Structures are given as C-alpha cells and as structure tokens.
C-alpha cells in the first residue's frame, strides 16, 4: 500500500482555520532566506504573496499566510535545486531562528547534546511555536526515534529540514530523517543516527 501524496497549497488552505497560527519569526526567517538565496526581487515576490505585512517575531499569525509564504519561496527559488530542497532549506532556517530565540536557547540548555533528550523536547518546542497540531516522540531504539505529527500543516520536506537541523546540535552523527505522509495533515518522521 502506497503512502498518500503530500497535500498542495490549496488543499492545506482549505483545512486551515483562523485559530491555526505560527510565530512571526518564521515569516521573517523565510523572507531573509529568500533574500540571501535569490536577491531582493525574490524577497519582494514572496512578501507580496501575503500582502506585504510586517511580522513581529513573537506575535502569532495565520498559518495560512505562512503556507503561502513558503510555497511562494519554493516557487521563486525552486530552480536552485528543486522545490523539495528549498523547503528543506527553509526548515533548516526555521530551526536556526528558533534556536536563537529565548525559548530555543532554554530548550537547548535543558536538553544538552543528548539526541534522545533533544528529541523528547520537540513536542514542547513545536507547541511554543505553533498553535495547532499534536506531536509526540516514540523511542525505537538507542539511536532511533519517530516523531509523530498529527494535524500538521507544514510540508513534509520542511519538517525534515527542521528535524535534521535541530539534531545536528546534538552528538548524533550520520543523521537520517525520513518523513512519511499518512494523511493530508498527518506524518511520521523516522530519525536515526550513529
């Protein structure tokens, strides 16, 4: 039996409600990443996709607008390695932005560099950043775990980038992060390392 295909922007927008939000720092990170990778003209195109609003890092904004932003960025920058690669890079950028925040610094101080402890902190890190969804971690072995994301609007590749970048701050080496779409808003991410 094959996995369902990843939902597109239009399907995600129909599933999102006004109560589904994410922090402004992620918008600002995407705009800066697009500017650094594609120039000011590319940043302006992405900014235009959401009505050229100003985003305050720790305020919450509709995830629908964030989805428009990252899908626009993937379209604008897709020629530089493809849509999947761009989404992974944007996820990596989101991790860097989060880890520089007060909440991210606190999470890292508590988790240290132990991969399993860091993984155990992921559900609360997501809760601090996003108003929607449920995430849990299942330990599959000494150097394996699964993050189960339910009612998550973010694309599979974006979350793969988030998880890979976060785990690089641990002692884990030879990281492998593989997402599997289960339903339009449900995915599992298998994480292994040496």
pLDDT tens digits for 96-110? 999 888 888 888 888
pLDDT tens digits for 136-157? 999 999 999 999 999 999 999 9
**pTM of the predicted model as reported, rounded to 2 decimal places:** 0.92
CA distance 97 to 183: 28
Q: Which domains are assigned to the chain?
A: 9-90 (no CATH), 102-192 (3.90.1520.10)
Helices (H), the chain: 9-15, 24-38, 40-48, 63-77, 83-99, 102-111, 115-129, 156-167
Residue 54 dihedral angles phi and psi, to the nearest 5°: -95, 140
Q: Cβ contacts of residue 44 below 8 Å, gap of 6+? A: none
Displacement of CA 15 from its chain's centroid (Å): 18
CA distance 158 to 179: 10
């Amino acid at each position: 039996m094959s996995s369902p295909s990843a939902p597109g922007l239009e399907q995600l927008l129909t599933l999102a409600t006004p109560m589904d939000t994410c922090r402004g720092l992620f918008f600002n990170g995407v705009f800066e990443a697009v500017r650094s990778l594609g120039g000011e003209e590319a940043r302006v195109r992405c900014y235009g996709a959401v009505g050229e609003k100003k985003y305050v890092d720790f305020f919450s904004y509709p995830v629908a607008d964030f989805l428009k932003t990252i899908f626009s960025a993937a379209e604008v920058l897709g020629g530089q390695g493809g849509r999947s690669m761009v989404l992974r890079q944007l996820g990596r950028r989101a991790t860097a932005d989060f880890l520089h925040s007060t909440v991210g610094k606190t999470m890292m101080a508590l988790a240290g560099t132990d991969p399993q402890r860091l993984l155990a902190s992921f559900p609360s890190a997501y809760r601090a950043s996003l108003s929607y969804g449920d995430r849990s971690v299942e330990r599959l072995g000494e150097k394996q775990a699964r993050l189960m994301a339910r009612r998550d609007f973010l694309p599979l590749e974006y979350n793969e980038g988030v998880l890979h970048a976060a785990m690089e701050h641990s002692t884990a080496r030879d990281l492998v992060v593989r997402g599997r779409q289960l339903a339009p808003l449900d995915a599992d991410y298998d994480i292994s390392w040496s």
